[in-house]
Amino acid sequence: MTTGRISAGIMPIVSEGSVADAKIGVRLASRLPARTDDSDLRELTSLAVQGDRSAIESLLGELRPMVVRYCRARLGRVSGQYHIADDVAQEVCIAVLSALPRYRDMGRPFASFVFGIASHKVADALRSSVRSAVPTQDLPDGPDEGPGPEETVVRYIEVEHARRLLAKLPDNQRELLLLRVVSGLSAEETGNVLGMSPGAVRVAQHRALARLRQMAELESA
Partner 1 sequence: MTPEEETDALLDALGRGEMTDAFDPAARLLAALLDDVSQWRSSVSMTPST
Which residues are at the interface with partner 1 (CB under 8 A)?
A: 4-9, 11-12, 14, 18-19, 22, 25, 27-32, 34, 65, 68-69, 72-73, 82, 141-143, 145-146, 155, 158-159, 161-163, 165-166, 177, 180-187, 202-203, 205-206, 209-210, 212-213, 216-217, 220
CB of 9 to partner 1, least distance (A): 5
d(CA 212, CA 119): 22
CB of 134 to partner 1, least distance (A): 18
CB of 34 to partner 1, least distance (A): 7
Residue 138, class by beta-carbon neighbours within 10 Å (0-12 exposed, 13-18 middle, 19+ buried)? exposed
Nearer to partner 1 (CB atom), residue 49 or residue 178: 178
Q: Characterize 178-199 residue by residue with b for buried, 16 or more Cβ atoms within 10 angstroms of its Cβ, and e for exposed.
A: bbbebbbbbbebbbbbbebeee
Q: Dihedrals φ, ψ of 78, to 5°?
A: -125, 125
Nearer to partner 1 (CB atom), residue 42 or residue 72: 72
118, 70 contact by CB (below 8 A)? yes
96, 117 contact by CB (below 8 A)? yes
CB of 24 to partner 1, least distance (A): 9
Nearer to partner 1 (CB atom), residue 32 or residue 97: 32
